[in-house]
Amino acid sequence: MNIATTRGTTRRAMSLPNILTYGRIAAIPVVVGCIYAQSILDQPLWLRWVAVAIFIAAAVTDYLDGYYARIWNQQSAFGRMLDPIADKLLVASCLLMLAADGIIHGWSLWAAIVILCREILVSGLREYLAALRVSVPVTKLAKWKTTVQLVAIGFLLAGPAGDEVVPVVSMIGLALLWASAIVTIYTGYDYFRAGIHHLIKEDEG
């Protein structure tokens, strides 16, 4: 790799859209740490509001990084690879922490399990299809699923702190989590169907 190529790669890696994605990843230990300190270590409830604020900021970057990449023509293979990874790390970490916290409990654990299993399924399918040089575009429904999912997690992170302000905050979060899980099953099936289609073609070829 020559110097010009190295500099170009470094410049793309340090573009604003990618920096926003890095920020989303960096927010994960802070959000998880706040919930852990409040719930497991029995620290003050205001830590949940800190977690919610940081989570909202991280969720907003999910929109902004793609927006700026498009309008400034800073889309890159590195960014396309890292962006969904950052999303999955953020969602999975929060769901696991909320399960440990007890906010997600009982039957609601199945909604979280469905969401996590779908993420693993889609990641595996994308890796397989990438080897075949087949891209699977993100559908509008999948984008709505992600939005509902993030809103649900925001409500659940507020948890008991939110319930002190509006008693149904946790219930709203759990309802949205189930809604997200139901849509997740449908979008996951779409990806699975696309993967099976190309798998059959590959075997027949």
Integer Cα distance of 113 and 145 in angstroms = 15
Q: Is the CB of residue 183 less than 8 Å from the CB of residue 144?
A: yes
| 7 is a domain residue | no
Overall number of domains in the chain: 1
> Along the 205 residues of the chain, how does pLDDT read in single tens digits?
454 444 444 555 677 778 888 889 999 999 999 999 999 898 999 999 999 999 999 999 888 777 777 777 767 766 677 788 888 899 999 999 999 999 999 999 999 999 999 888 887 777 777 666 666 666 778 788 888 999 999 999 999 999 999 999 999 999 999 999 999 988 887 777 777 776 666 655 5
Name the phi and psi angles at 164, rounded to 5.
Answer: -70, -25
- Tokens 């979280």, residue located: 112
| 1 is a domain residue | no
| 78 is a domain residue | yes
- Domain interval for residue 176: 14-202
Integer Cα distance of 65 and 80 in angstroms = 10
- Tokens 């852990």, residue located: 36
Cα dihedral: 170, 174, 179, 180 (round 10) = 100
pTM attached to this predicted model: 0.85
> What is the CATH number for 116?
1.20.120.1760
